Amino acid sequence: MKKPLYFTIAVTITFLLLACTNGVSENGTKQLQIIYINNDSPEKRRAEIVQDTQIITLNNTKYHSYITRTPNDSLPYVTGKDGITYVDNTITLRITRGNVPIFNRTFTKNNFATLVNDEFLREATLEGMVYDKTTPEGIKYAVSLCYPQTDLYMPVSITIDIHGRMEMIQAEEMPAETAHEEHSSHI
């Protein structure tokens, strides 16, 4: 009687340990971790901290992509059309090839001032960044600036080439796979 009970307990503990470990998905290429922040201030709303790690292959070379979105109280607050105050975010993008850093930058919404109008920028928050795809030009990311708690947003596309150079394009103005010079910014 005791042997089946011990076996059941051991299997249950093993299962729970495996279920609770934070690991890479089956294909070994992506890890997404969302950390919730306790919002102690009823007058300000903040997004969660989001960390996204991926292995991306470009030209038969593996790159590690790390994206972290963090609410930042040192940035100016944004008051939405609903009268609620929101904490804006910073997004850090880090790309490495092996142990060699290729790109490392922390973005605020002001980094996109050349691509969106001043009024939108003043009323929007930097909502998120996700890996989009690889192209011959480099690794593409989709960035969204949006009015808080609405579906209204301005999409921006960022491309990082193999040397760490960045190009930003207002995605709404961009036909498939081409860029308009008046809506792009090279850094």
- Largest alpha-carbon pair distance within the chain? 77
34-63 exposure pattern, b = at least 16 Cβ within 10 A, e = fewer: eeeeeeeeeeebbbeebebbbebebeeeeb
φ, ψ dihedrals at 133, nearest 5°: -170, 170
Instruction: Over range 25-46, report the average pLDDT.
Output: 52
Q: Which CATH superfamily is domain 27-186 in?
A: Protein of unknown function DUF4738 (2.40.128.510)
For the segment 92-107, what is each residue's pLDDT rounded down to a tens digit? 999 999 999 999 999 9
Predicted TM-score (pTM) of this structure: 0.71
For the segment 75-97, what is each residue's pLDDT rounded down to a tens digit? 999 998 888 999 999 999 999 99
Q: Parse the chain into domains and list their residue ranges.
A: 27-186
